[in-house]
Structure 1
């Protein structure tokens, strides 16, 4: 396959241009990942084929497999192990999305119906489990069990993060420390392990692998903070998914935690009342308080600071096109508005 020439690197790339550049840079490897993924998931059952086909419509930007491949390239070369593991992390990510939509009672993702909306919760739970089991079956094909252990541990932490978030629903005294523990598990763990796999299976020394993993973790934290901000102030037509689920489920995120911490006693009492009785209008009512506080700016600055720290971790690697794109991905993750 002949790849088109990637864009020049002297300007930050955003949105579709960034994704097009990455698709161009990693075209052959991403195509190989797709073949591995669908060969593993192939089924003779028509109902399973139908769900799989539907799930392809809300897979998103393939961030986790791209992190595996791009980290590998920044550390050396992409090999067949990287391609296989990129397919594994993508399966795990899709599984978490399917389960998340059940937890959030979400009806749309990427402008299409979620699995639970089109079918039912039972189908969603079983389909997510189906993806998890296939992911570990595929990872078991490697000569050693190291990847299975690392990915298994990461998946455990993802579940711990989600369980903690459910446990803390309705806790209007949730602090930033606990919030960061939650998002470190539910989101950052999988981006961290994706970057780790790229560096580790490129035979890099432990200090380099650790730095690349730290990049992935900071990226994941920033990405989730930006997502939480969009859940409150985003527009569903742009994001393509159900918004406001955090408020409806009484899950406190950084903008609200900051708002409560800095509000006057009178405003804090009104905000707590709104949060305690969430309705469709709650997000709109909260925006009045958010816009007269520093909560939105504080949340955005926190995400941007994490992005810069993520890029600093990559300084252990030689300058390259791949390292450049890793930083661009991190910056794009907090500047998206869809």
Structure 2
């Protein structure tokens, strides 16, 4: 059910599934770069998740089911140990707008009825996604996400690493409740693919000769694979035909790639107050992203050498100059 394909193909819309696909696409765009409101002084006050107003029209077809996923997750992420309970509840608030559960549910809705298995799968993919966010913040030394302090900023690195591990393993434990062993295998293999993508990106730091094809391959693994999995499993449990199942998987893959490219661009030229998380971390960690690949391609050798030298400077001085470079060359 999960493709071994590295670079996603284009997908042409199907008249029957297009409305749900459009909703999923708009949810992705709404998640990236939308302004947010500061959280209350106590980050554990109020409900764990509030549906942003811009998402209500998109999530309207699955409003009841997305609420069920949220209730299920809140019940699962509790501990009898107060300190751990607070850590897990706080970490769960960093997950964002529940785009990946929405992909499961909207894909299902595009094909047929939503079943109990969809709720469980949606919860599992959200736990996997949240685990990657917690670990990403450690790798990037980020201090802010969703207008909240990251786990490593509020607690420590050790707690972040272990919480991410816990969320990964808890997700796979929940997946064992699914009777179909092939679905469990898909979820486990997708989780492994995410980790492989992150490892490959770490290994490619500072490799300014990285090609666009290699970059797309990496972001497919670290981001798009889970979106493809979400759409594919949503379609699978709704009884999709092979053609519908393949189309939705490809759609999720393309959507995930587009999402990551946008996120990488925001890291370079976005505004932290609007985006709600630490930016410039890719530059600080010498991650090679698509805007940088395009920028390096357009410069002559002396300019390219100056740019590489600039990338080694502190982020406070290098990011504004890089942004100006991108604007002057249309690399962004």
Question: Do these two structures clear the TM 0.5 threshold for a shared fold by scoring above it?
Answer: yes
Deviations 1:77-128 (A, max 9, x none): 1110001100000000100000000000000001110001111111011111
Write the mapping of 1:29-48 to structure 2, written as runs, cut at 5 A: 29-48=65-84
Output the CA distance in 2 between the equivalents of 1:188 and 1:48: 31
Aligned residue number for residue 68 of structure 1: 104
Distance of 2:81 and 2:246 partners within structure 1: 42
Of 162, 170, 174 in structure 1, the residue corresponding to residue 206 of structure 2 is: 170
1:229-248 equivalence runs, <5 A: 229-248=265-284
Matches within 5 A, 1:40-189: 40-189=76-225
Aligned residues: 286
- For normalisation by structure 2, the TM-score amounts to 0.83
2: distance between equivalents of 1:277 and 1:148? 45
Deviation, structure 1 residue 278:
4.3
Take 2:174 and 2:136, find their aligned partners in 1: how far apart are those partners?
23
Residue number in structure 2 paired with 1:313: none
**C-alpha contact 1:192 1:217 (8 A) present in aligned 2:** yes
Map residues 198-209 of structure 1 onto 2, 5 A cutoff: 198-209=234-245
> Are 2:229 and 1:193 aligned?
yes
Q: CA deviation at 1:35?
A: 2.2
Instruction: State the distance in 2 between where 1:289 and 1:226 align.
Output: 18
Q: Is the 8 A contact 2:310 2:318 kept in 1?
A: yes
SS at match of 1:232: helix
SS at match of 2:316: coil
Listed as ranges, the gaps of 5+ residues in structure 2 are 1-22, 31-51
What CA distance in whole angstroms lies between the structure 2 residues aligned with 1:218 and 1:294?
23
1:283 aligns with 2:332: no
Partner SS state of residue 214, structure 1: helix
Q: Measure the CA separation in 1 of the matches of 2:62 and 2:256.
A: 21
Greater than 3 Å deviation, 4+ residue runs: 12-18, 276-279
TM-score normalised per structure 1: 0.81
Mapped to 1, the partners of 2:130 and 2:53 lie a distance apart of 24
Partner SS state of residue 205, structure 2 = coil
Question: How many Å separate the matches in 2 of 1:172 and 1:278?
Answer: 18
1:262 to 284, 291, 298: 298
Task: Point out the more displaced range, 149-158 or 31-40.
Answer: 31-40
State the shift of 1:265 in Å. 2.2
Equivalence for 1:331 = none
C-alpha offsets along residues 196-224 of structure 1, whole Å, 9 cap, x if unaligned?
01101111122211110000000000000
CA RMSD of aligned residues (A): 1.6
Tell me the equivalent position of 2:47.
none
Higher helix share: 1
Residue by residue over 1:224-274, the C-alpha shift from the partner in whole angstroms, topping out at 9 and shown as x without a partner, is 000000000000010110000000000010001000011122221211111
Cα distance in 2 for residues equivalent to 1:26 and 1:17: 15
Contact 2:227 2:253 in 1 (8 A): yes
The verdict on how the C-alpha distance between 1:154 and 1:63 changes in structure 2, with shifts beyond 3 A counting, is same
- Tell me which moved more, 254-263 or 19-28: 19-28
